[in-house]
Amino acid sequence: MSEWKKKRFWKETAVEPRDGGFAVTLDGRGIRTPGKTPLIVPAQALANGIAAEWAAQEEAVRPDTMPLTRAANSTLDKVLPQRSAVVEMLADYGGTDLLCYRAEGPESLVREQNQHWEPHLVWATEALNAPLLRIVGLIPHPQPESSLQVLRDATDALDPFVLTAFHDFVTLPGSLILGFALLEGRIDAAEAIRLSELDALWQEQFWGADDEAIANRTRKVTALQEACSFLNLVRE
């Protein structure tokens, strides 16, 4: 049965224990992902959230209003089948982490980067045991392999549903360290994007803000907030 139809085709939405997890049912039938995998999630709170998204659909089904469903689909159809590739892709961000690359100038920008980025790299050293080098300029420089291995192992240790949220935590800001800071609750979605766009925000003080840049920033914050909500429900 295909759940991504244009029209609502069911009357009742419910959650049922099934196969060691929780399934969302439409008129008693369990829904499936676009890849035809039974949509069974590990946490009842997450299943309740997904069920609420389906119950809120009116005449037309709008997947863009169903972030929890989309994230669960991604876990089952994409993350689980290619978990190793996802882990490697995310861990690779550590080798060129945004927070490590510092401007040569002006002094005010250098000061902003040191003030706002440095605490998170210090935290990575102390809490994650992953010290990283600070590089002035944009030319790539190898990071300590021992630190990269620690970050790779920490990524690999994540549950597949947590890894789905972590994917957005890393790729939207473009920083593995900010991804771990989000995962550990050190920062929220808005702060993660602010830190990732520190250079652009610094420039906007002098040249003004671009409407497209603001819209893109807002979109990233919203997507990260949705990923945070997904993670919170997975952890419940």
Based on its alpha-carbon atoms, the radius of gyration of the chain, rounded to whole angstroms, reads 20
**What is the per-residue pLDDT for 6?**
66
Please give the class, per CATH, of domain 13-66. Answer: alpha beta
**What is the per-residue pLDDT for 3?**
47
Query: What topology is assigned to 83-235 in CATH?
Result: ATP12-like fold (1.10.3580)
**What is the per-residue pLDDT for 18?**
93
Q: Is the per-residue pLDDT at 63 higher than 70?
A: yes
Half-sphere exposure of 86 (CA within 13 A, CB side): 25
Q: Is the per-residue pLDDT at 9 higher than 90?
A: no
Q: Is the per-residue pLDDT at 31 higher than 70?
A: yes
Q: Is the per-residue pLDDT at 214 higher than 60?
A: yes
Task: Give per-residue pLDDT as tens, 133-183.
Answer: 999 988 989 999 999 999 999 999 999 999 999 999 999 999 999 999 999
Task: Give per-residue pLDDT as tens, 187-202.
Answer: 999 999 999 999 999 9
**What is the per-residue pLDDT for 60?**
86
**Percent of the chain topping pLDDT 90:** 89
Q: Is the per-residue pLDDT at 234 higher than 80?
A: yes
**What is the per-residue pLDDT for 102?**
97
Where in the sequence of the chain do the CATH 3.30.2180.10 domains occur? Answer: 13-66
**What is the per-residue pLDDT for 110?**
97
**What is the per-residue pLDDT for 209?**
84
What is the mean predicted confidence (pLDDT) over 122-130? 98
Where in the sequence of the chain do the CATH 1.10.3580.10 domains occur? Answer: 83-235
Between CA 158 and CA 186 the distance in angstroms is 18
For the stretch 6-14, contacts whose Cβ atoms lie closer than 8 Å and that sit 24 or more positions apart, written own/partner, are: 6/60, 6/61, 7/59, 7/60, 7/61, 8/57, 8/58, 8/59, 8/60, 8/61, 10/54, 13/51, 13/54, 13/55, 14/51
Task: Give per-residue pLDDT as tens, 97-114.
Answer: 999 999 999 999 999 999
What is the mean predicted confidence (pLDDT) over 22-28? 96
pTM of the model: 0.94
Q: Is the per-residue pLDDT at 2 higher than 60?
A: no
